[in-house]
Amino acid sequence: MSSDKVDPSKLRQHPTNPNWTDPKSYGVWELPIGSSGKRYRFGNNPVREIELKKEFGNAKLVALFLNRNNARQYAKELDG
């Protein structure tokens, strides 16, 4: 799975929407200890990160993927 990860420096801001990346990417974030529910969450980068920080106060990016299913699977593996 680690070979599917994307280096954030390879992404750029989408030319027409600053809430997206080009190419489209999906992140996995670690939530602070004590957060309710699963500790690792995934979603569209960077939109999901903004949502998580708003809801939980902080979220640490763990990995980026170009494939949503890979991000989902990685978050699931981290949550055990």
pLDDT in tens, 32-76: 998 888 999 999 999 999 999 999 999 999 999 999 999 999 999
Backbone torsion region of residue 42, taken as left when φ is above 0, otherwise alpha when ψ lies between -120 and 50, otherwise beta: beta
The pLDDT, as a whole number, for residue 2 is 55
pTM above 0.75, yes or no: yes
The pLDDT, as a whole number, for residue 35 is 84
Number of domains in the chain: 1
Residue 11 predicted with pLDDT over 70: yes
Chain Cα centroid distance, residue 80: 17
Range of the domain at 14: 2-79
